[in-house]
C-alpha cells in the first residue's frame, strides 16, 4: 500500500525507507481513526473558533490618481495604450 501511495503521489521512495514510511503512515491513520471516533452529532461546523471579522476600509480614493497619459508616459515601453513587458514564457 505504501508503494502505491508513493507512486500515486509521484514520490520516489527507496526500499530502505519503506519501514519508516509504513510506521509514519500507521501513526497518521491511527490519529485519523481517533478523530473519527469523537462524537460530533449536533456540533455546528465552523471555520474558525472565534467570531472575528476583518474591518474593511471604505473603497474611496485617498488622493487623485495620475491620468492614463501620465502613466503611459512613464512606461519604459508602451504601444496602443498598453504597457509592453519582456516575454517571460517561451
pLDDT in tens, 68-79: 889 899 999 999
pLDDT in tens, 6-23: 899 999 999 999 999 999
- H or E element in which residue 33 lies: helix 18-36
What are the residue ranges spanned by the domains of the chain? 2-36
pLDDT in tens, 11-56: 999 999 999 999 999 999 999 999 999 999 999 888 877 777 888 8
Report residue 52 as a C-alpha cell: 472575528
Report residue 79 as a C-alpha cell: 504601444
Quote the pTM value.
Answer: 0.45
List C-alpha distances in Å: 89 to 75, 78, 83, 85, 86. 21, 19, 17, 12, 9
Q: How many Å is the Cα radius of gyration of the chain?
A: 28
Are 3 and 23 in contact by the 8 Å Cβ rule? The answer is no
pLDDT at 50: 79
Amino acid at each position: 500500500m505504501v508503494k502505491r501511495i508513493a507512486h500515486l503521489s509521484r514520490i520516489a521512495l527507496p526500499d530502505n525507507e519503506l519501514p519508516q514510511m509504513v510506521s509514519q503512515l500507521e501513526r497518521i491513520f491511527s490519529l485519523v481513526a481517533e478523530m473519527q471516533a469523537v462524537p460530533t452529532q449536533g456540533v455546528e461546523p465552523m471555520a474558525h473558533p472565534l467570531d472575528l471579522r476583518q474591518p474593511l476600509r471604505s473603497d474611496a480614493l485617498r488622493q487623485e490618481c495620475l491620468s492614463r497619459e501620465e502613466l503611459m508616459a512613464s512606461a519604459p515601453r508602451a504601444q496602443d495604450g498598453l504597457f509592453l513587458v519582456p516575454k517571460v514564457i517561451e
